[in-house]
Chains A and B, each alone.
Chain A
Amino acid sequence: MEKEKEFYARIEAKGVSRRDFMKFCTFLTATMGLSAAYVSKVAQVFAAPSQRPPVIWLHFAECTGCSEATLRAMFPWIDELLLEVLSMEYHETIMAAAGRQAEEQLHAAVEKYKGKFICVCEGAVATKYDGGYGKIGGRTFLEIAKEVCPQAAAVVCIGQCSAFGGIQAAAPNLGGWKGVGEVLGIKTINIAGCPPNPINFVGTIVNYLLFGKLPAVDDLGRPLFAYGKTVHDQCPRRSHFENEEFVEEFGSPEAAMGYCLYKVGCRGPETYNNCPIAKFNDGTSWPVEAGHPCLGCSEPQFWDKMTPFYEPL
């Protein structure tokens, strides 16, 4: 309780009112599909973790867009996520240590938190040529994944690449790139998207902190709270689809009126994600609101299966 009070004093000092904070927790609780009774418990997760759960974040073949997406988390702010909620033991994009010292840190963290850390994977793993197309410190991604992932309490794949192979796995897939779960033959939690909304990552972590287990998932390993419905079913433009009011050319009067983007290639009907509800960057917008069709980026192999993007389904 004391810690909780301190926490509120601190966020208030930063200009975040307790009311704003609870608003966020309510939003997150709803995104996670929990009842309102959980709001105060979700708040406690951020207020008073007994020990910050260790996270080891591995970068394989990726563009760092998923790390960048996570940096955009605003409730809790990314600095709180880093300093007060989680213990980010290894993350190449932000860690101060480099080279030998970075490798030492990875080994020390795996050793210290064996069986207890959350392993977040960003990026695909190469399987051809002994995994030779991707290396860190002279070791292949394949070796690193095989060594680190099995020692984690849970493996969370953030983004299309670690979940399903991503862009490098698109035809002709020169390096034999695959998602982490497929390469290691393990079940992973897949926070799908290119990149995913950070709220879905945070929601998954909070679920873990709150219940001590990862959220329920679909048959592709995607948390149901975020990936349980299609974009189409949640789209604010759905009524235009029903009324057969379509955009047939960008820049047209129909585009300005916000008609349905189905005929210019929208993949919403075949894509499971919560973009229309959660929206991106603190609820600022999402692609369809910006007038662009959905690409289907939370579906496996969307680079091959959803293209050409501008042809209707």
Chain B
Amino acid sequence: MGKRITIDPITRIEGHLRIEVEVEGGKVVNAWSSGTLFRGIEVILQGRDPRDAHHFVQRSCGVCTYVHALASVRAVDDAVGIKMPVNARLIRNLLHGAQYQHDHIVHFYHLHALDWVDIVSALKADPAKTAALADNTSNAPWGGRQYFKNVQVRLQTFVDSGQLGPFANAYWGHSAYKLPPEANLMAAAHYIEALRIQAKAARLHAIFGGKNPHPQSLVVGGVTSVADLVPDRIAEFLYITKETHDFVKNVYIPDLLAVASFYKEWGGIGGCTNFLTYGDFPASEQEPESFYMPRGVIRKRDLANIEMADQQKVTEDVTRAWYLKSAPKHPFEGETRPIPENPKFSPEKGKYSWAKAPRYDGLPCEVGPLARVLVAYGKGHADIKPLVDGALKQLDIPASALFSTLGRTAARGLETVAIGEVMQGWVTELVENLKSGDTKTYQPYEMPQTAQGVGLNDVPRGALGHWIRIENGKIGNYQYVVPSTWNLGPRDGGGNLSPVEEALIGTPVADPQKPLEVLRTVHSFDPCLACAIHVIDPHSNEVYKIRVV
């Protein structure tokens, strides 16, 4: 039995996550992932108006804002039978693309970078050498000795104040930090710049969505932002998406590759076996054929035989989660209930998480940027393949290194480039369509008494599915299976580990008191726990009445 390490709270994520690992001989030999908060949004949806669902589910997460609302209106659109107007499809795509641009920048710089970048070491950097390094690696619009000196003085002033705020008591000086002081200073400067870029990028949602977080312009049947389909608004959107894209191309990707070049061994750590993506960004009504990011399943890392994904093969298992006993079920048939008591953390053989264990055809699957990029790469995607090949060549690593913590983090950046590029085309398409005289943004409909629908999308953190059953014109049953449940759930009844649990095994840990390396792999999944945990509909509400209410 090795040494047990608990990290709780895992910080720099959304939500409440506990990771426990067992370390033997300097490596992780076993791992448990536990979500420690249960809110129960699906139960709250029971009996409500189906048109309201997207507002509720959007509050699953304020980091991955918009995406649940989109999946939800798609599910109800599907149940109702909406033929989506072209303008509405484009605006929904643009808002979704904006979420990728925003979210991936924040993840890389603010949630993940400090696992690789030692801020304290940046204080020792030579600003002139940093300027030279920045000149060689990036096309950032800021630079020069004076710029980096100013950043350093600012950080030094902050440190000298004795109030270290968010940088207090971290793993600075840890032996696993490999960047020279100059690279640390460059990254620290861009960490600060990225704080501003993300605030600007969020305006993209405000333009066609009224605000961010939680934009408010989606409705079942289309979008409401008709008054914003005017030249100055569209130009503003185009300008900000291009500015954000410039940052991604000129700063984010160069930083990503520069940092990765010091951590190439992470191309052999933290990989998973199976991958699932629903794909997204429809170019027409043909789904999934017209998706910009394709749908697919990869088994056993076999990129040569990518299968089409079928949502009917999705089940959730609650054997090791804090719910009352139930066999694994497809979301339409779900009937799980939370245990009506203070849950005990029993990782050995018992229950240990509020997250459930989703499985595809019985298999745990990694979802997210790596799954999307691998499926696109395997299918020879015209934009993704050259981006991936270029990065592999620059880092001088083989394609097999993609199955790793490094691959996951790199895939996130690379897809942001592809999506940022294609978004500009959608803006042109929107303009052309409006010019042609088509101003339709909404399809009126009658809410059926009985119907069911599925809303699938692939969001920054991975494959997301919402399933709704409408009964008597109200929500009879509503369920969603989300990316962080796929990636960070517990074991299933068959003892299969979840992707993060699998990925952690073999991770080196130099100092069990400071498990920095564990954080690297956990953060590479971009965990987002608030939406990972919820409950599937109990068909008999009686159980609640007796046990809970």
Contacting pair B226 A256 (CB below 8 A) = yes
Contacting pair A255 B224 (CB below 8 A) = yes
Number of A-B contacts (CB under 8 A): 310
B166 proximal to A (CB < 8 A): yes
Bound CA span A51–B38, Å: 39
Flag B40-63 by CB within 8 Å of A: 1 or 0 each. Answer: 110110001101100110011111
Contacting pair B213 A92 (CB below 8 A) = no
B14 proximal to A (CB < 8 A): yes
A72 proximal to B (CB < 8 A): yes
Bound CA span A281–B56, Å: 22
Contacting pair B62 A287 (CB below 8 A) = no
- Distance between B405 CB and nearest chain A CB, rounded to angstroms: 16
Contacting pair A290 B62 (CB below 8 A) = no
Partner of B63, one of A64, A83, A136: A64
Contacting pair B10 A285 (CB below 8 A) = no
Using a Cβ–Cβ cut-off of 8 Å, how many residues does chain B contribute to the interface with A?
104
Bound CA span A195–B16, Å: 19
Partner of B342, one of A63, A129, A309, A311: A129
Flag A146-178 by CB within 8 Å of B: 1 or 0 each. Answer: 000000000000000000001110111011010
Partner of A78, one of B61, B168, B199: B199
Q: A77-B195, A251-B441, A280-B206 are in contact. Are A65 and B213 (CB under 8 A)?
A: yes
Q: B-side binding surface: helix, strand, loop or mixed?
A: loop
- Distance between A254 CB and nearest chain B CB, rounded to angstroms: 10
Would you give 27 A-B contacts (Cβ < 8 Å), ordered by A? Answer: A61-B37, A63-B63, A64-B15, A64-B530, A65-B59, A77-B199, A78-B199, A79-B195, A91-B166, A93-B14, A97-B11, A98-B10, A99-B9, A167-B44, A175-B38, A175-B39, A249-B444, A250-B221, A258-B227, A281-B206, A285-B228, A290-B209, A290-B216, A291-B224, A307-B52, A310-B49, A311-B49
A52 proximal to B (CB < 8 A): yes
Task: Please give me the residue from chain A that is nearest to B119 by CB atom.
Answer: A96
Partner of B166, one of A88, A138, A255, A290: A88
Task: Please give me the residue from chain A that is nearest to B219 by CB atom.
Answer: A250
A74 proximal to B (CB < 8 A): yes
Flag A237-260 by CB within 8 Å of B: 1 or 0 each. Answer: 000000000000111000110100
Flag A64-96 by CB within 8 Å of B: 1 or 0 each. Answer: 111111011110011100111011110111111
- Distance between B419 CB and nearest chain A CB, rounded to angstroms: 20
Bound CA span A175–B534, Å: 12
- Distance between A117 CB and nearest chain B CB, rounded to angstroms: 11
Q: A99-B7, A307-B52 are in contact. Are A280 and B211 (CB under 8 A)?
A: yes
Partner of A285, one of B8, B210, B345, B519: B210
Bound CA span A67–B65, Å: 12
- Distance between B462 CB and nearest chain A CB, rounded to angstroms: 18
Residue among B44, B199, B216 facing the most chain A CB atoms (10 A cut-off): B216
Contacting pair A69 B48 (CB below 8 A) = no
- Distance between B337 CB and nearest chain A CB, rounded to angstroms: 10
- Distance between A85 CB and nearest chain B CB, rounded to angstroms: 11
Residue among B14, B56, B439, B441 facing the most chain A CB atoms (10 A cut-off): B14
Contacting pair B203 A292 (CB below 8 A) = no
Task: Please give me the residue from chain A that is nearest to B117 by CB atom.
Answer: A96
Contacting pair B8 A134 (CB below 8 A) = no
Partner of A292, one of B13, B196, B210: B210
B121 proximal to A (CB < 8 A): no
- Distance between B149 CB and nearest chain A CB, rounded to angstroms: 11
Residue among A73, A83, A128, A171 facing the most chain B CB atoms (10 A cut-off): A83
Partner of B203, one of A79, A94, A170, A281: A281
Flag B177-208 by CB within 8 Å of A: 1 or 0 each. Answer: 00000000000000010011011101101111
Contacts of A307 in B (CB 8 A): 48-49, 52
B6 proximal to A (CB < 8 A): yes
- Distance between B411 CB and nearest chain A CB, rounded to angstroms: 23
Contacting pair B206 A137 (CB below 8 A) = no
Contacting pair B225 A291 (CB below 8 A) = yes
Contacts of A171 in B (CB 8 A): 44
Bound CA span A95–B165, Å: 8
Bound CA span A71–B200, Å: 11
Within 8 A of A (CB), among B9-24: 9-16, 18
Task: Please give me the residue from chain A that is nearest to B514 by CB atom.
Answer: A101
Contacting pair A287 B16 (CB below 8 A) = no
Partner of A67, one of B62, B207, B226: B62
- Distance between A211 CB and nearest chain B CB, rounded to angstroms: 22
Contacting pair B161 A52 (CB below 8 A) = yes
Bound CA span A63–B106, Å: 16
A108 proximal to B (CB < 8 A): yes
Within 8 A of A (CB), among B70-94: 85
Contacting pair B37 A134 (CB below 8 A) = yes
Contacting pair A63 B43 (CB below 8 A) = no
Partner of A286, one of B7, B192, B210: B210
Task: Please give me the residue from chain A that is nearest to B211 by CB atom.
Answer: A280
B110 proximal to A (CB < 8 A): yes
Contacting pair B62 A97 (CB below 8 A) = no
Contacting pair B211 A285 (CB below 8 A) = yes
Partner of B195, one of A78, A168, A195: A78
B440 proximal to A (CB < 8 A): yes
Using a Cβ–Cβ cut-off of 8 Å, how many residues does chain A contribute to the interface with B?
93
Contacts of B167 in A (CB 8 A): 95-96
Contacts of A291 in B (CB 8 A): 217, 223-228
Contacting pair B211 A172 (CB below 8 A) = no
B163 proximal to A (CB < 8 A): yes
Flag A276-313 by CB within 8 Å of B: 1 or 0 each. Answer: 00001110111111111001000000010001111100
Q: A96-B12, A174-B43, A174-B548 are in contact. Are A309 and B52 (CB under 8 A)?
A: yes
Contacts of A1 in B (CB 8 A): none
Partner of A308, one of B10, B49, B210: B49
Bound CA span A93–B527, Å: 11
A105 proximal to B (CB < 8 A): yes
Q: A101-B170, A292-B224 are in contact. List 17 more A-B contacts (CB 8 A).
A: A65-B63, A69-B213, A87-B161, A89-B163, A94-B110, A96-B11, A97-B170, A99-B9, A102-B9, A134-B36, A195-B214, A250-B219, A250-B442, A281-B212, A284-B206, A284-B211, A286-B210
Contacting pair A93 B11 (CB below 8 A) = yes
B239 proximal to A (CB < 8 A): no
Contacts of B544 in A (CB 8 A): 172, 174
Contacting pair B169 A287 (CB below 8 A) = no
- Distance between B215 CB and nearest chain A CB, rounded to angstroms: 8
Task: Please give me the residue from chain B that is nearest to A280 by CB atom.
Answer: B211
Residue among B39, B192, B226, B442 facing the most chain A CB atoms (10 A cut-off): B39
Contacts of A208 in B (CB 8 A): none
Bound CA span A105–B9, Å: 12
- Distance between B217 CB and nearest chain A CB, rounded to angstroms: 4
Contacting pair A97 B38 (CB below 8 A) = no
Bound CA span A13–B63, Å: 31
Partner of A289, one of B171, B227, B548: B227
Contacts of A128 in B (CB 8 A): 548
Closest 5 CB pairs of A and B: A65-B62, A251-B442, A132-B342, A290-B210, A291-B224
Q: A98-B519, A137-B8, A172-B549 are in contact. Are A295 and B55 (CB under 8 A)?
A: yes
Contacts of B171 in A (CB 8 A): 96-97, 101
- Distance between B288 CB and nearest chain A CB, rounded to angstroms: 27
A110 proximal to B (CB < 8 A): no
Bound CA span A10–B151, Å: 11
B150 proximal to A (CB < 8 A): yes
A135 proximal to B (CB < 8 A): yes
Bound CA span A109–B110, Å: 22
